[in-house]
């Protein structure tokens, strides 16, 4: 069995789904969001992440974000952790989102460096501390330089991990050497999660305990099983699932997330609607690839 650390601070192990946000004419579609939560509870997702980039948080008002958290918390009824994204370039505004998430009942925050601003590493640390002070909740640090335009260095994450409010790291740099160095420094203290669906097993081989996943929106049971199989020592099964899903993972990232994954969730029969501008509907070519990949995996409305 792999010697995979399970730090005491870990909020969950396995697969946390980065939920898409269904929108109606008047904001968040409460009924469909509740349907999605029930689906993930049935299918074995280990945690629910709301108001992340997959959830289109940058296009949502603070009131909408708070309401989305309230809905997910109410429907989940403490059966799995609910983690709320708190992101943006204005630290004071992000601190307000963190307070709102706590008041709405979230169990933890997912915090990324502020996008666009490109702060130095010490600015990232100051941003995190201000947001955590306001939120009063445990936090997962999210390194996603492709969206934020600033990379959280291993020594920065090591510094943040000295604060016991940091319970995890979601690593989406795609740089496996950096992932290894971060794991070397902090995996004995905080939970390491893959932020890339095509690197779940590689990251877990370095000491990770799971994933915060886009794929899990349409394949929650297998995504959770991939992580748990590895933790149970069934490495061949985990590897097989990782490789089997690569074509679908490629399809759901063919265009900017969450454009394809919202289309994929619609293909499962959930009326989540189109992305909000500036994101647009999936292209015909990407939809055709996605449909083929979904069919190949047996994923459709009847299948769920």
Q: Is residue 265 part of a domain?
A: no
> What was the pLDDT predicted at 219?
98
> How confident is residue 1, by pLDDT bands cut at 50, 70 and 90?
very low
Alpha-carbon torsion angle 267, 44, 172, 262, nearest 10: 20
What is the distance in angstroms between the CA of the first residue and the CA of the last residue of the chain?
32
Strand runs labelled E in 13-172: 14-18, 23-24, 27-28, 47-50, 82-85, 108-111, 139-143, 166-171
222 touches 198 (CB < 8 A): no
pTM of the model: 0.95
Q: Is residue 238 part of a domain?
A: no
DSSP 138-205: -EEEEE-HHHHS----HHHHHHHHTSTTEEEEEE-S--HHHHHHHHHHHTTTSEEEESSGGGHHHHHH
Mean pLDDT of the 257-285 span: 97
Q: Is residue 121 part of a domain?
A: yes
Query: What letter does residue 258 receive in the DSSP assignment?
Result: T
3-state helix, strand, coil split of the chain in percent (to 5) is 50, 15, 40
51 touches 60 (CB < 8 A): yes
Please name every residue paired with 84 in a beta bridge, in sequence order, or none if there are none. Answer: 50, 109
Per-residue pLDDT of 168-185, as tens digits, reads 999 999 999 999 999 999
Q: Is residue 176 part of a domain?
A: yes
Q: Is residue 184 part of a domain?
A: yes
Instruction: Tell which residue, 9, 3, 286, has the closest CA to residue 165.
Output: 9
Per-residue pLDDT of 195-246, as tens digits, reads 999 999 999 999 999 999 999 999 999 999 999 999 999 999 999 999 999 9
Find the helix or strand (DSSP H, E) in which 101 lies. helix 91-103
Per-residue pLDDT of 83-126, as tens digits, reads 999 999 999 999 999 999 999 999 999 999 999 999 999 999 99
Residue 120: CATH number of its domain: 3.20.20.70
Q: Is residue 221 part of a domain?
A: yes
Q: How far is 74 from 225, CA to CA, in rounded Å?
A: 26
pLDDT > 70 in the chain, percent: 97
User: Cα dist. 133→42, 118, 120, 151, 266 in Å?
Assistant: 35, 22, 20, 23, 38
The structural domain count of the chain equals 1
Q: Is residue 5 part of a domain?
A: no
* Known catalytic residue at 170: yes
State the catalytic residue, choosing from 116, 118, 130, 170: 170
Q: How far is 192 from 181, CA to CA, in rounded Å?
A: 12
* Known catalytic residue at 142: yes
Its sign, for the CA torsion 173, 193, 17, 23, is negative
Q: Is residue 253 part of a domain?
A: no
121 touches 89 (CB < 8 A): no
State the catalytic residue, choosing from 118, 142, 193, 245: 142
Higher pLDDT, 300 or 40: 40
- For 226, the 3-state DSSP assignment is helix
Supply the range of the domain harboring residue 64: 14-232
For the ranges 3-7, 71-75, 215-219, the lowest mean pLDDT is seen at 3-7
The alpha carbon of 102 is separated from its chain's Cα centroid by a whole number of angstroms, namely 18
């Amino acid at each position: 069995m792999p010697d995979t650390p399970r730090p005491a601070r870990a909020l969950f192990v396995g697969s946390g789904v980065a939920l898409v946000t269904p929108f109606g004419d008047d904001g968040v579609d409460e009924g469909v969001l509740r349907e999605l939560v029930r689906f993930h509870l049935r299918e074995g997702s280990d945690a629910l992440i709301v108001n992340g980039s997959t959830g289109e948080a940058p296009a949502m008002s603070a009131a909408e974000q708070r309401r989305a958290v309230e809905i997910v918390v109410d429907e989940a009824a403490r059966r799995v952790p609910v983690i709320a994204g708190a992101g943006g370039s204005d630290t004071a505004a992000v601190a307000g989102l963190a307070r709102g998430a706590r008041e709405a009942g979230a169990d933890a925050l997912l915090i990324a460096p502020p996008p666009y601003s490109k702060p130095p590493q010490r600015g990232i640390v100051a941003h995190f501390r201000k947001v955590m002070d306001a939120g009063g909740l445990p936090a997962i640090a999210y390194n996603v330089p492709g969206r934020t335009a600033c990379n959280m260095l291993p020594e920065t994450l090591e510094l943040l991990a000295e604060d016991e409010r940091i319970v995890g790291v979601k690593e989406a740099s795609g740089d496996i050497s950096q992932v290894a160095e971060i794991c070397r420094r902090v995996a004995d203290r905080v939970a390491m999660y893959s932020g890339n669906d095509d690197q779940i097993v590689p990251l877990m081989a370095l000491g990770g305990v799971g994933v915060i996943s886009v794929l899990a929106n349409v394949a929650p049971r297998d995504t959770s099983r991939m992580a748990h199989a590895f933790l149970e020592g069934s490495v061949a099964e985990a590897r097989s699932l990782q490789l089997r899903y690569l074509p679908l993972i490629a399809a759901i990232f063919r265009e900017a997330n969450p454009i394809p994954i919202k289309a994929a969730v619609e293909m499962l029969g959930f009326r989540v609607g189109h992305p909000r501008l500036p994101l647009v509907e999936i292209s015909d070519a990407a939809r055709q690839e996605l449909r083929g990949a979904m069919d190949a995996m047996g994923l459709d409305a009847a299948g769920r």
